[in-house]
Amino acid sequence: MVKAAIIGGSGYTGGELARLLCRHPKITLEAITSRRLAGSKVADEHSYLEGFVDLRYVQALNAKEDYDIVFVAAPHGTSMEIVPSLLERGMMVVDLSGDYRLSDPNVYSKWYGLEHKDVKNLAISTYGIPELFRDSVAQAKLVANPGCYPTCTCLGLAPLFSNGAVEERVIVDAKSGTSGAGMEPTKMTHHPNCGSQIMPYKVGTHRHSPEIQMALEKVSGSPIEVIFTPHLMPIVRGMLCTCYVQLKKRMDKESLFALYSEFYSGERFIRMVNSPSISSVVGSNFCEIGLELAGTNTVVIMSALDNLVKGASGQAIQNANIMLGLNETAGLDFPGLGV
């Protein structure tokens, strides 16, 4: 069995990692850290893990204990202080923060307001959307687990940009549940403020904007302009991204659907559907994608996923499976909740 640990296991993504790993057929969860909760039972913080995860939080990983892979669910700015020592000890790392996602340290500084302290490992990190960058993930020791919005957006757009079928500009209208904001309550996520409305936020300034641009440029090989507007929805889990791009040449819907079907042939966690449904993917590692033609040459692409699973912890485990040479679907091959 593969030995795994989680650094930062008190939040939603850490708890979701533990939920998925506790039933993984090839990976055993050996340790979970939390400075705030050190000494307490993991199941006391995440009650749904009672009877499944019999661990207590530790202050830090045992320096004498070696793990095959470590999932780092620490805040932005903290991960880059933790990851170097793990790599030096020969462990594989999947980092769920934003510290290793943007390949240019100057772009990172601009969007995160921090100087990058681990440029050496930033240069060797692999951006981990498996369906798009699987070969690189398979060779990696450090994978930067993508953000939820970039995952949902880029999976929806990659076939078009990869085939050079659309102009190099995309408008993204994205909506996510409140769990994407983390466990700490804020004025915006306070139920009376968000419980009965949809709110745009960080328009033009969201940190996922350059990440979407970087990933799509990797796929297309050309500069791309991304206009990204996120919204908060009064649901807990799930997200829906609606993207608008312009075709370079006229195509009918059947041809577009065939292009997507070929691009994602054999991809277990991608479903092409007529109308993506958040309820169909919540609780699962699946992403549903649909498309329509509008006007003369506009393609509207809709994609849906669970921001805590395929948008975070599930994708992290999918990446780990690839890095470790395991079946990519191990511990993840189950349907969404449906309601």
pLDDT value at 190 more than 80: no
The highest-level CATH class for domain 149-307 is alpha beta
Q: Mean pLDDT throughout 283-305?
A: 97
Q: Are strands 92-95 and 69-72 parallel, antiparallel or unpaired?
A: parallel
241 is catalytic: no
- Please, what sign has the CA dihedral across residues 156, 161, 163, 166? positive
Task: Report pLDDT for 261.
Answer: 97
Q: Mean pLDDT throughout 219-227?
A: 97
pLDDT range class, residue 303, cuts 50, 70, 90: very high
pLDDT range class, residue 194, cuts 50, 70, 90: confident
Burial string for 198-230 (b: 16+ CB within 10 Å, else e) reads eeeeeeeebbbbbbbbbbbebbbeeebebebbb
Q: Which of 22, 148, 152, 287 is catalytic?
A: 148
Identify the CATH number of the domain defined by range 2-146+310-324.
3.40.50.720
Nearest to 128, CA basis, from 69, 205, 191, 77? 69
- Which part of the chain is CATH 3.40.50.720? 2-146+310-324
- Which part of the chain is CATH 3.30.360.10? 149-307
Residue 20 amino acid letter: L
Residue whose structure tokens are 């960080």:
202
pTM metric for this prediction: 0.96
